Amino acid sequence: MSRNAESTAFRSALEVIRAVEPRVADAIGAELADQRESLKLIASENYASPATLLAMGNWFSDKYAEGTVGRRFYAGCQNVDTVEALAAEHARELFGAAHAYVQPHSGIDANLVAFWAILADRVESPALKKAQARHVNDLTEADWFALRRELGDQRMLGMSLDAGGHLTHGFRPNISGKMFDQRSYGTDPATGLIDYDRVAEAAREFRPLILVAGYSAYPRKVNFRIMREIADSVGATFMVDMAHFAGLVAGKVFTGDFDPVPHAHIVTTTTHKSLRGPRGGMVLCGPELADQVDRGCPMVLGGPLPHVMAAKAVALAEARRPDFADYAQRIVDNAQALADGLLRRGATLVTGGTDNHLVLIDVSNYGLTGRQAEQALLDSGIVTNRNAVPQDPNGAWYTSGIRIGTPALTTRGLGATEMDATAELIHTVLSQTTAGTGPDGAASKAKYVLDPAVAEQVGKQAADLLTPFPLYPTVDLA
């Protein structure tokens, strides 16, 4: 698409919005400006293409479409059928999956669909039918306990939060923790790596219904062949949540034992992050679970979002192009260059490096908590997020780590040279920041001290680093 066409499209959209609520139009324009100026290193964020963004702003937003392709509860869904079928087709071809369900609104929704599909496939019970007939958020605690009594004590084994796992893998604050009796496997304390023998031992002892693999802050590959063997050895369903690294699977950076799709019974993902699509979710599975997965709406999902499914179809079509494989490889190359640059400057990295798109820095060696480091970096124009490290003494709120990732900067075109410069900026900020104290003079886990001149200088250097790599260069709102 030409520069003129994309600029005209977005300018026109903002004009129409401004006529109704100018503050919304201003906020949209400000968000683009902020993203253009920020050194974005949040591992779960990316930049969708103009085509993907534009696919979300259209008349599909007006349409209800409960059900699936060809089997809707509303009339007049023929065009929704077209885009949903296209998105599913692209997903199947891209990942080599037998079946794709593209309706989930988010990664959490995708996981809920997977959990209920597994349960429904395993057991038919009055409690389960009751749960299927109601929105999952309407179930009371008594309903949950009744359901678990009917089904038996359903168990889930997944990666611990401090080792890099995710809340949706059975932890109590999430609804998955109400559905399942959860136990975690961690990582080797000496290396930070998954110890597959210990996972197998935990599975033999716990006998889970579901063994979950996948992560939000583990900087290495996972051997899914071994994990499937462990699941099979105890009769568990093997589920993989590849939300973070789906783009690396799509781009054929992760293949063989490290591609989850041939090994898992069911795979869930988001469609943003490294896949570079709209915010949403997706489920991939074999034919044995397809019917249950397709009941996601109305089982646990609200009405599908056809405009987002249209954007998923566009993004998945983009991911099938040859240049996406090059992009995916550059994500990993950049992450490794960033890790190397940090290590050379004395930073401590969980596992000592990375095989994927993210790097986890243990900032305790700088005398900081993750919360202090996150805010000091933000003051300096570097956007990251704090994250727990294995056996984190500061817990999940303050943390001892900073998680950084390369999908977004790779989309902008930055390479190894810029990653080394980024490592220098990060190290400068962290080494110049000190922990602050509270009103009583006691050490604080949140307050910090950073010379404003240092923050200003690093911010300027970050902006200069981004100048040759404009974000959305074909879009001019002026």
Query: Looking at residue 336, which CATH number applies to its domain?
Result: 3.90.1150.10
Q: Which of 168, 269, 270, 271 is catalytic?
A: 270
Same domain, 131 and 243: yes
Catalytic residue among 6, 84, 162, 241: 241
Contact between 463 and 381 under an 8 Å Cβ cutoff? The reply is yes
Domain residues for the domain of 460 are 322-466
Residues 223, 106: one domain?
yes
User: What's phi and psi for 349, nearest 5 deg?
Assistant: -110, 135
Largest CA-CA distance found in the chain, in angstroms, rounded: 67
- 411 with 50: CB under 8 angstroms? no
The whole-number pLDDT of residue 441 equals 77
Element (H, E) at 434: strand 434-437
Alpha carbons 158 and 44: distance in angstroms, whole number: 20
Same domain, 310 and 388: no
Report CA Rg, the chain. Answer: 23
The 10 Å Cβ neighbour count of residue 468 is: 10
Q: Tell me if 34 is assigned to some domain.
A: no
Report how far apart, in Å, the C-alpha atoms of 280 and of each of 184, 193, 245 are: 26, 29, 15
What would the pLDDT profile of 81-116 be if each residue is shown by its tens digit? 999 999 999 999 999 999 999 999 999 999 999 998
Indicate if 215 belongs to the active site: no
Task: Report the number of distinct structural domains present in the chain.
Answer: 2
User: Which token pair is 311?
Assistant: 């954007």
In the annotation, is 270 catalytic?
yes
Any domain includes 38: no
In a domain, 20, yes or no: no
CB-CB neighbours of 104 under 10 Å: 29
422 included as an active-site residue:
no
Assess whether 279 carries a catalytic annotation: yes
* Active-site residue, 440 included: no
> Among positive and negative, which fits the CA dihedral 470, 471, 476, 477?
negative
197 in the same domain as 343: no
Q: What pTM was estimated for this model as a whole?
A: 0.90
- Predicted confidence at residue 396, as pLDDT, reads 87
Return the beta strands (E) in 262-321 as ranges. 266-270, 281-285
Question: Same domain, yes or no, for 141 and 289?
Answer: yes
Residue 89 CA: distances (Å) to CA of 119, 328, 332: 26, 21, 27
Answer yes or no: is 255 within a domain.
yes
Rounded-to-integer distance, Cα 232 and Cα 241, Å: 18
Strands (E), 336-393: 348-349, 358-362, 382-383, 385-387
Boundary (domain end) residue, out of 287, 319, 351: 319
CB 364 within 8 A of CB 291: no
207 and 251 part of one domain: yes
- Are residue 302 and residue 288 in the same domain, yes or no? yes
State how far the Cα of 115 lies from the Cα of 129, in Å rounded to an integer: 14
Residue that is last in its domain, among 281, 300, 319: 319
Q: What is the enclosing helix (H) or strand (E) of 201?
A: helix 196-206
Residue 472, phi then psi, degrees to nearest 5: 50, 60
Q: Which of 11, 18, 45, 64 is catalytic?
A: 64
Asked whether residue 392 is assigned to any structural domain, the reply reads yes
Instruction: Please check whether residue 307 lies inside any domain of the structure.
Output: yes
Q: In the prediction, which pLDDT does 299 show?
A: 84
pLDDT of res. 128: 54
> What is residue 403's three-state secondary structure?
strand
Pair 147, 293 in one domain: yes
Residues 202 and 67 in one domain: yes
Structure tokens at 407: 């999908």
Residue 26 covered by a domain: no
> Do 202 and 121 sit in the same domain of this protein?
yes
pLDDT at 30: 95
| Active-site entry in 18, 45, 63, 66 | 66
Residues 359 and 312 occupy one common structural domain: no
Tallying the residues shown for the chain, one arrives at 478
Q: Domain end: 299, 319, 339, which one?
A: 319
Check 220, 221, 273, 312 and give the catalytic one: 273
Q: What is the pLDDT of residues 114-138, one digit of tens each?
A: 998 998 876 554 555 555 555 555 6
- Write the CA distances from 265 to 200, 271, 287, 356, 376, integer angstroms: 18, 20, 10, 23, 43
What is the per-residue pLDDT for 174?
80
Helix (H) or strand (E) holding 146: helix 141-151
Decide: 1 and 50 in contact? Cβ < 8 Å.
yes
Tell me which residue of 324, 317, 323, 318 sits closest to 83, measured CA to CA. Answer: 317
Q: Are the beta carbons of 429 and 354 closer than 8 angstroms?
A: no
Q: Which CATH number do you get for residue 120?
A: 3.40.640.10
Q: Say if CB 342 and CB 356 are below 8 A apart.
A: no
Reduce the DSSP state of residue 27 to 3 states and report it: helix
Sequential pLDDT tens for the chain (478 residues): 455 899 999 999 999 999 999 999 999 999 999 999 999 999 999 999 999 999 999 999 999 999 999 999 899 999 999 999 999 999 999 999 999 999 999 999 999 999 989 988 765 545 555 555 555 556 665 665 555 545 545 889 999 888 878 877 767 778 777 788 889 999 999 999 999 999 999 999 999 999 999 999 999 999 999 999 999 999 899 999 999 999 999 999 999 999 999 999 999 999 999 999 999 999 999 999 999 999 999 888 888 999 999 999 999 999 999 999 999 999 999 999 999 999 999 999 999 999 999 999 999 999 999 999 999 999 999 999 999 999 999 998 999 999 999 999 999 999 999 999 999 999 999 999 999 988 887 889 999 999 999 999 999 999 999 999 999 999 998 8
Q: Tell me: do 293 and 173 sit in the same domain.
A: yes
CA end-to-end distance (rounded Å), the chain: 19
In this structure, is residue 8 part of a structural domain? no
